[in-house]
Structure 1
Amino acid sequence: MRNLKALAVIILAGASLTACSTVTEAVKGPELAPIGYPAALVPQQQVIMVPQGERPAASSNSLWRAGARTFFNDQRARHVGDILTVSIDINDSAQTQNTTARSRDNEYSAGVGSFFGLESSLGKILPGGYDPANALSSQGSTTSNGSGTINRSEKVSLTIAAVVSGVMPNGNLIIQGRQEVRTNREVRELTVAGIVRPEDISSANTIKHTQLAEARISYGGRGDITRMQGAPASQAIMERFSPF
């Protein structure tokens, strides 16, 4: 009983915090999410090493690039924590049109000349409604017409930096990136995740979104404009589960 009461208190506290957060967002606008390492796909024991101190600047006539970790080795992302750039250039369009028509008529009739000698009794029970030549009959008609049209066009051109959050046994990299931009009272969010072959990463440490396996790309937002564009929760629930 005490455990149930404690659970109820925790649920009420969480609901109160959620309500306060919603009220605060309605008054002050949406807040940006805190910067964090993408831990969803990273092992818990992963340690992020932060270099201390400043690197000495290279001279003007030196081939050594400031900030480079090595001179001869490949500078492309390959380890957990490395950063690479994902170029998203979606320009897709789809058009589909389909029309269906279905119609069916059926008619059935059967006579019963003798029914265990009860023909006269049935005639008495159903006066004027029983005809042995047409004892059983049925008719039916079904008509169905449908049409649908899809005309969709999508165009997104963005660039985002992603972090290598895991390395698969075959050497492929799991990447995840998130970007948020706030303009007035609206926050635009861009997230990308997927699996990358190291061979597909260019020498400039970039990769196209078409080279991401299991790509998950999301571009949306939250704030006053997004909230006004969406239907109220009660209306959305009624439209989703209404049987009519």
Structure 2
Amino acid sequence: MTKNFISYTFLLMAVSSCLIIINDADAARGVTVYDVSMVADRKARRLGDILTVLVLERASATKEAKTETSRTSDHKGKLGGFVGIPTRGLGDGISLGSGNSFTGTGSTSRSETFDATVPVIVIEVMKNGNLVVEGQRNIQVNNEKQTIHVKGIVRPIDITAHNTIISTNLASAEIVYNGDGQVSQQQKPGFLSQLLSWVWIF
């Protein structure tokens, strides 16, 4: 009985020593089960990987124009110079004058703010490691359809730990927003407004 107990004790000690040696070797290489399963790098880096673009765009523009034109002309002459025209009772001459002027001003001002999140897919991995991404998001609420299309080039260093990137960090960015529905139609000028704008050009 004592001999079996001693053998069992030595076996446990040998197994424990092996586990300690294996754990120390993994620690020396910086690899643990916890590291692989819980702290794995989930950033997009390969073809077909997905990341999220945080669209934060601000745009404003102002344009002003002013045009002024004027013209004046005077003409004077004597009726006596015309053959066959009686001049008795008339003055020595006649004068004509004309003039016109035009002043036009116009200005436009526009400011837009656009925020959205759009998942995109890596469609190309460039030789330098940069990623070409593209994605589209369609939203439809109460017969109002909105489409957001995003395409651009991403540097892996700009991707956050949450696998997201801000749209201002996209190179060659193409961000297109289209709306179709009652709200979008109300934002467009009516036929009469378009006609008057065309007439006022002249």
* TM-score range for the pair, normalised by the shorter chain length: 0.5 to 0.7
Gaps of 5+ in 2: 1-32, 87-92
Give the aligned residue type for 2:49. Answer: D
TM-score normalised over the length of structure 2: 0.56
* Counterpart in the other structure of 1:157: 115
Distance in 2, matches of 1:110 and 1:167, equals 81
Task: Report deviation, 1:231.
Answer: 6.5
**CA-CA distance at 1:146 after TM superposition:** 0.9
Please state whether the residue corresponding to 2:168 is helix, strand or coil.
helix
Q: Partner of 1:65: helix, strand, or coil?
A: helix
| Distance in structure 1 (CA, Å) of the matches to 2:167 and 2:136 | 14
The structure-2 alpha-carbon separation of the partners of 1:241 and 1:184, relative to structure 1 and needing over 3 Å to count, comes to: closer
Q: Which residue of 2 aligns with 1:90?
A: 57
Q: Greater CA radius of gyration, 1 or 2?
A: 2
Corresponding residue for 1:102? 68
RMSD: 4.5
In the alignment, the residues of structure 1 paired with residue 182 and residue 76 of structure 2 have an alpha-carbon distance, to the nearest angstrom, of 69
Tell me which residue corresponds to 1:64. 36
Structure 1 counterpart of 2:133, one-letter code = I
In the other structure, the counterpart of 1:79 is 46
Q: Deviations over 1:169-188 (max 9, x none)?
A: 55432211111233343333
- Deviations along 1:42-78, one digit per CA (max 9) or x if unpaired, are xxxxxxxxxxxxxxxxxxx722237x9xx5xx64323
Question: What are the residue-to-residue correspondences of 1:194-205 with 2, within 5 Å?
Answer: 194-205=152-163
Partner Cα distance (2:184, 2:63) in 1: 30
Deviations 1:199-229 (A, max 9, x none): 3223332211111123222334334554566
d(CA) in 2 for partners of 1:228, 1:81 = 39
Q: Spell out, residue by residue over 1:147-176, the C-alpha distance to the aligned partner (whole angstroms, 9 max, x if none).
A: 3241x3322222221111223455432211
Change (3 A) 1:89 1:226: same
The structural deviation recorded for 1:93 is: 4.6
CA distance in 2, matches of 1:88, 1:181: 15
In terms of fraction of residues, the more strand-rich structure is: 2
- Counting aligned pairs with the same residue, the percent is 31
The alignment status of 1:209 with 2:167, answered yes or no, reads yes
Q: String of CA shifts for 1:107-166, please: whole Å, max 9, x gaps.
A: 47799xxxxxxxxxx9448x58xxxxx9xx98653322213241x332222222111122
Rate the CA distance shift 1:63–1:148 in 2: closer, same or farther, 3 A. same
Please tell me the residue identity of whatever aligns with 2:53: V
What is the CA–CA distance in structure 2 between the aligned matches of 1:210 and 1:216, rounded to whole Å? 11
